[in-house]
Structures are given as structure tokens and as C-alpha cells.
Amino acid sequence: MAKGTKYTAREADENGFIHYTQDEHAVWGELFERQMEIIQGRACDEYMEGIEKLGITADKIPQLEDVNQVLRKTTGWEVAWVPALIPFTKFFNLLANKKFPCATFIRTREEMDYLQEPDVFHEIFGHCALLTNPYFAEFTHTYGKLGDQAEKEYHVWLARLYWFTVEFGLMNTPNGRRIYGGGILSSIGESQYALTDEPEHRPFDIMTVLRTPYRIDIMQPIYYTIDGMKQLFEIANMDIMAHVKEAKQLGLFEPTYPPKEDKLAS
């Protein structure tokens, strides 16, 4: 997960306050207003309730401590400052301790529509709202503990479970299919695309999920759908590592997407 980045995370001052520029606040505001309009009727109710609990608005980038005050009261979680993308080992360890990593930079206007690495908008707007939900919070905590204890050879297999749930998960509700994955909810393109007839929607099956390859730089051709937030709690109580080990033995399915273009090819 670690790689080079052109962004630099904002560090807090001696009082724990992170100083952002007016332009950075403006970028947050534009992203916030745009996404809030798009996800109406697309995001799951639990997410919308979480946004309300957090009290975040378009006015400014939230301070981590303000988010933490809400998360501590609801599920005992916190967001933790990180410089940028972090290694799997650090990522799992933070989640195991109920700390959600958050790089405190925000994308530039040139990358408003798509940013490959997670910024403060993706982490807080995309993920923190659902960390107020006990089922989602328990699943994420269990996932972190498993990864923290697992041998490194299993990390990439666990990553697929996270990808198709926390990042790009969909949910069946009495009002139809809804989004709960933060990677979708924080993306203008994917939040409109995910519920259309273009991608394939499959019911969640842990073995299938673990064996499904993905690319991070395209719209997802496949989404997995759970039957309500409580199913995440049920998944957390499975013997996930037994499934991971079996999936590793069986190997990956053939990709349903084209191979990445080789930029070095003539």
C-alpha cells in the first residue's frame, strides 16, 4: 500500500489544530456539496445517519478531534493521522486498535473527479460516517485484528475482502439496492455508475469475494451486495482466516476486466 505521493499531509500545531488554506476548504466544500446531492437516494440510510451524527458540512474540512469526539461516543473509534498511503502492517495494526487512518491532505482541483490515493475527503466523508454504526465498526475492528495477526502472505487476500465491502460494497434494503462502500460514496463517477445496469451485481459470498481480482484504476465491473448492515457483523464472526487460506489454495478467478496497458510498450 505504500508508494510515492505528490501530496503532503497537514500536521497539527501544538494545540492539535490542522491549518488548511482557504482554497483547500473550498475544494472540500465543492466535493461535499456535489457528493451530497449525488448520493441522495443512493447511499444507505445508515450512512446518511452517520453523516448527520458527525455534523460535517461544506463550510470547512473537519478537524480530526471533532470527528473523534463523535466516534468515541458512538462506537469507541478514532481517526488517526497518517502521512499518506501506509503499509499493510501499519494499516491492520491501526484498525485492530480502533483507529482509522486518515491522511490530512486534500486533492487538487486537477484531480477533483478521481484520486488514486485516499485523501481527507475520502477518509472522512467516505468512511467515518459508517464508523458510527456498531455493525460496521465491529466488522472493521475484527478485520483489523485478523490482519494484524495474519502472516504477510495472506494480507493481499484479506485486502480483497476489504475492497468489496468497506470500499466498494453495496447493500440490499427495503427501498432497493444502496451504497455503503466509502470508495463509491466519495467518488462522483462511481457513485452514479455503481447502481446502474452496466456493472454486475452479485450476492455476497466470502469465498467468491476472496478469489475475485480487482483493479484500483477503473470503474468496478463487479460489486458484491450484502443483505443489510447486520450481515457485516455476521461475516465478522465467521472463521475468516480459514476461508482466506482455502481461497489462497484455490487461486484467483480470471479477471473480468482488460489487462492494464503497459506504458513502456512501444
pLDDT tens digits, 145-156: 999 999 999 999
The total of structural domains in the chain comes to: 1
Residue 9 lies in a domain: no
Residue 8 lies in a domain: no
Cell numbers describing residue 52: 448527520
125 near 184, Cβ under 8 Å?
A: no
Active site includes 167? yes
Residue 260 lies in a domain: no
User: What stretches of 130-231 adopt beta strand conformation (E)?
Assistant: 170-173, 176-179, 200-203, 222-226
- Is 167 marked as a binding-site residue? yes
pLDDT tens digits, 160-169: 999 999 999 9
- Is 155 marked as a binding-site residue? no
> How far is 200 from 130, CA to CA, in rounded Å?
24
The CATH number linked to 78 is 1.10.800.10
- Is 127 marked as a binding-site residue? yes
pLDDT at 1: 39
Residue 263 lies in a domain: no
Rg, the chain, Cα only: 18
DSSP state of 132: G
Residues in CB range of 67: below 8 A, 6 or more apart: 54, 56, 79, 124, 128
Residue 6 lies in a domain: no
Residue 241 lies in a domain: yes
Residues in CB range of 204: below 8 A, 6 or more apart: 164, 165, 169, 224, 225, 226, 227, 231, 235
List per-block mean pLDDT (blocks of 10 residues) for the chain, which spans 266 residues. Answer: 71 95 98 98 98 98 98 98 92 98 95 89 97 98 98 97 98 97 97 98 98 96 97 96 98 93 50
Residue 218 lies in a domain: yes
pLDDT tens digits, 70-103: 999 999 999 999 988 899 999 999 999 999 999 9
- Of the candidates 46, 78, 167, 190, the residue annotated as catalytic is 167
pLDDT at 262: 52
Residue 35 lies in a domain: yes
Domain that holds residue 194: 22-250
